[in-house]
């Protein structure tokens, strides 16, 4: 194992060469917000943009979850520019997520709630127009329920499903139409799901929840 030395917010840290900036920071007690990162994922999804940081000598912000460390790298995680862009990225995620916490299985453990505290923003934000979604809830699986209206497209379930399950879940469509779905959108009970449960375990919000959970009514999400 070859260790390299870098500085994060002027603090000297050591980490294994090739480690992504995010994990080097977290392993050394320096918090960088993140939502879609999975340590083993290679390449990382890098979709939420909450982990943006500045690196000396680089004009653009980079995602810490996808940027490998190199010797003598200088990383800044809390500059005004970083905070401003991350803040906007978080509000964009919120604009696509119905805020129905009191009815949600993840209330109290939802990562959006934790991040809202970190960013000091209200979950019900007004900066961006809320985009209503009205996808059918899939409650056909014997073990869990999937509500695509609550999905934030972090991709963690897709990665888990492919690495540890049977590859049942995938991204479908593009742009604003993107959703996580089975192939052809068939009900989960008819897909080749092995019921490993990793998708439910990794979902940071209430999109994939155990079967025992009540189904959130779509009317409440409008
Ligand atoms: S955690 Fe890096 S982009 Fe989501």
Per-residue pLDDT for the chain (222 aa), expressed as one digit of tens each? 799 999 999 999 999 999 999 999 999 999 999 999 999 999 999 999 999 999 999 999 999 999 999 999 999 999 999 999 999 999 999 988 999 999 999 999 999 999 999 999 999 877 887 777 889 999 999 999 999 999 999 999 999 999 999 999 999 999 888 999 999 999 999 998 999 999 999 999 999 999 876 555 444 443
- State the Cα–Cα distance between residues 46 and 23, nearest whole angstrom: 13
Contact 145, 151 (CB under 8 A): no
Pick the CATH number of 98-221 from 3.30.70.20, 3.30.70.360, 3.65.10.10, 3.40.1210.10: 3.30.70.20
Question: Ligand 1 centre from 219 Cα, in Å?
Answer: 31
Residues of the chain with CATH 3.10.20.740: 3-92
- State the Cα–Cα distance between residues 127 and 119, nearest whole angstrom: 14
Contact 54, 21 (CB under 8 A): no
Pocket (CB within 6 angstroms of ligand 1): 34-37, 46-51, 63, 65
Residues of the chain with CATH 3.30.70.20: 98-221
Any idea which architecture 3-92 has in CATH? Answer: Roll (3.10)
Strands (E), the chain: 3-8, 11-16, 52-55, 62-63, 74-76, 144-146, 170-172, 179-181, 208-210
């Amino acid at each position: 194992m070859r260790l390299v030395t870098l500085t994060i917010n002027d603090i000297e840290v050591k980490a294994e060469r090739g480690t992504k900036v995010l994990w080097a920071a977290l392993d050394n007690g320096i918090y960088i917000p993140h939502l879609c990162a999975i340590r083993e994922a290679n390449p990382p999804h890098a979709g939420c943009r909450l982990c943006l940081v500045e690196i000396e000598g680089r004009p653009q912000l980079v995602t810490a979850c996808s940027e490998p460390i190199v010797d003598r790298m200088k990383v800044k995680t809390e500059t005004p520019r970083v905070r401003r862009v991350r803040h906007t990225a978080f509000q964009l995620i919120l604009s696509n997520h119905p805020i129905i916490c009191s009815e949600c299985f993840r209330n109290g453990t939802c990562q959006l709630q934790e991040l809202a505290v970190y960013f000091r923003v209200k979950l019900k934000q007004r900066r961006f127009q809320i985009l209503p979604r009205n996808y059918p809830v899939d409650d056909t699986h014997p073990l869990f329920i999937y509500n695509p209206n609550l999905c934030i497209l972090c991709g963690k379930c897709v990665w888990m499903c492919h690495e540890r399950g049977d590859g049942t879940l995938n991204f479908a469509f593009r742009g604003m139409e993107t959703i996580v779905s089975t192939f052809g959108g068939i009900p989960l009970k008819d897909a080749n799901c092995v019921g490993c449960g990793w998708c439910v375990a990794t979902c940071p919000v209430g999109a994939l929840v155990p079967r025992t959970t009540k189904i959130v009514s779509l009317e409440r999400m409008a």
